[in-house]
Homo-oligomer: A and B are copies of this chain.
Amino acid sequence: MNHDEWVRQELRGLSRSLGFQYTPIKELENRIIKIRGGMEKKDIEGLLVIQKMNLYYLSGTTQEGLLFIPLKGEPLLMIKRELERARVESPVKQTVALKSNREVPLLMQTHIGKIPKTLGLELDVLPVRDYLKFQELFMGTELMDVSSILKETRKTKSSFEINLMRKAGEIGKKVYQQARKILKKGMTEIEFGGLLEAVAKRSGHEGLLRVRSLNYEAYTWHVLSGITGGIVSQSDSPMGGLGLSPAFPVGGSLKKMRAHEPILVDFGTCFHGYQADETRMFSIGKMKQKFIDAYKACKEIHDAVLEETRPGMDCEAIFLKTLRLAEKLGYKDSYLGPSGLQTHFIGHGIGLELNELPFIAQGQPYPLEQGMTFAVEPKIVFPGEGSVGLENTVAVTKNGYEILTPAEQKIFQV
């Protein structure tokens, strides 16, 4: 059988029968209107989308290729390998084959009618070597950075997007429900993490958590128990754990989980590219009182953030308020990390990537807006002993917030 014919005839039906949701054309059009608003302000005649998550956001497909968005007229989707599959997945009308990036200017000329005088590229992620090649290809065109336009556009989510995040949150709920049945004394952290992932995958979790930057890696098996919960690592988080080696010094380790230790499970889930991030605490037998108390403080800080979560509230002010509250509760030196290594955020935007706008953090003086989605994650760390925390992903609604991660908020004792 011919592959392309099979794709044209069968792929959509098979995919839909297995739960695929394609991005509606209206949704893409709304996003492109916002993007064009940003382009107009900066006098950018065309924008070339290269990075995979931006491509998905603006075309509906992640097949290898590039999307050109002119300030006016139909966008042009250029696909390198699987053109027919991209045509099934993306509603972009002009979708053509691309053999190599060298053909991009010619395809623009043919399908758009001209080469833009100013061309926007994602300079926050585009490697230098690729950039230099585009400079050669677009002699006479000014190349400009459009990272901020894309980030600004993506920082508020539509109801279509929030619904996908809700589904990711439901997968998380299943994971935490099963977790109490899986957790056993003497099991290693990494085994527990792996089994939780298996539950998530069975429910449609996509496994890869995406982040936006060189060197920053995300993973789901963040299971820390007792002593490993007190260890900081490479990531900008209150604690990183021990991990499995110097090559992967974060997350679950081969340490066995023991009775009465705090067991922290920070588990991200992903549905149709959209992520939900949440943390719950477990213990085998009763958790030591010190950690129960600290967990209660986390819960109080978490609730205090949600009390302030509505359009117009200032992100930095919310963060600073939690500092004061943590101090009042007696956790000044252990809130958000060990003394000297404390992080400076209580929430991070989340969507297609784990490090999106907004950041509920120091140095982020801007207001919350309806449609923003972020994870709020108070954590308290005692080096040499362990850590506790609570995390949920929320959407900012017209007057307040909606929790997208519905797992029960309590310490799961087995």
Contacts and interface: CB of A to CB of B under 8 A. Distances in A.
A207 B232 contact: no
A10 interface: yes
Interface of A: 1-4, 6-7, 10-11, 14-15, 18-23, 50-52, 56, 60-64, 81-82, 85, 89-90, 121, 123-132, 145, 147, 188, 190-191, 193-195, 197-202, 204, 206-208, 213-215, 217, 219, 221, 227, 230-236, 240, 242, 244-249, 251-255, 270-274, 338-341, 352, 382-385
8 contacts: A3-B230, A3-B338, A6-B383, A127-B128, A129-B145, A197-B198, A198-B198, A201-B221
Contacts of A6: 230, 383-384
Given A215-B50, A382-B1, A63 B234 contact: yes
Contacts of A221: 201, 207
A126 B128 contact: yes
A194 B411 CA distance: 26
B252 A273 contact: no
Nearest to A127: B125
Contacts of A124: 127-129
Given A128-B126, A197-B197, A206-B245, A3 B63 contact: no
A145 B242 CA distance: 34
Nearest to A1: B384
Given A50-B214, A82-B232, A200 B206 contact: no
B234 A64 contact: yes
B188 A194 contact: no
Contacts of A234: 62-64, 81-82
Contacts of A7: 231
Q: Among the interface residues A3, A125, A255, which one has the most CB atoms of the partner chain B within 10 A?
A: A3
Question: Chain A binding site: helix, strand, loop or mixed by DSSP?
Answer: loop
Contact of A202 (B21, B56, B194): B194
A202 B184 CA distance: 14
Contacts of A191: 198, 201-202
A201 B7 CA distance: 35
A291 to B, nearest CB: 15
A337 to B, nearest CB: 8
Contacts of A215: 50-52, 64
Contacts of A204: 190, 244, 254
A18 B233 contact: no
Contacts of A52: 214-215, 217
A226 B249 CA distance: 38
Contacts of A19: 244-245, 254
A29 B219 CA distance: 32
Given A124-B129, A125-B214, 5 more contacts: A1-B383, A61-B246, A194-B198, A194-B199, A194-B207
